[in-house]
Structure 1
Amino acid sequence: MSSDHVLTILLVEDDDGIRTIASVLLESEGHQVFAMATGELAHEWLAQRQPDVLFADVNLPGIGGAELARLARQANPDLRILLTSGEAMPDPAWLASGGHYLNKPYDRRTLLAAIQATAKAVA
């Protein structure tokens, strides 16, 4: 396993194909992945558990990734969060606050590097 350490990752992606591929890539590195299709499901999950990294698409129906990140940070200010999108530009305020962002499409190398950088960052 090439990862620095095993992470618990909450993956929130409404596209079934992208969610499956990202889950497989992350699990192939030994990470424990909890994959959800909606921000609402992820928000409920976060009320009971805390991942090492929240990896969420910005453009989710209902509670979007940016809103989910805000809610998650209210509950856990130290939570590491990586947002992604293939359509929206990163929010300048998110980036200015040290937020992590990964553009779609991404490949195995860029996904794993972004997850590791996010996990190592000081929240």
Structure 2
Amino acid sequence: MAYEKLIETVDITITSGNAAGSVSITPRAGLVIGCAIYQNDAANSGVVKASFKTDSGEEIVPAVPIKDFRSREAGYREGLMPLYLETSGKTFFLNVSSDQNFTADFKATLVLVYEKNFTKDNC
């Protein structure tokens, strides 16, 4: 029996000496209900921001301090940045930038969480 995948991840790395990076993701079709970004503690004295956009440039989440994407340590779903995003095979971009260069490699993982489809026969 195949199980429905409820989480999808994408990694991003910004190498030391740079201030910005972007990564694309084409998630499976489904309803994304929330996301979180988990990051290392790469040194940066500036303001680090992240945004999430469609391939046509439409902002899903505008550039906000990356800490707004953190898990809020509440219940799992309640701790996510809320989204209501029907992916439909579209491509999206996670953009991370700072007003200062990183002095160590910045590494982060974007976690997308899907709504469970209760119409399928899943355990």
TM-score normalized by structure 1? 0.29
- Structure with bigger RCO (C-alpha 8 Å, 6+ apart): 2
More strand by share: 2
Look at both structures and tell me which one has the larger radius of gyration over its CA atoms. Answer: 2
TM-score normalized by structure 2? 0.29
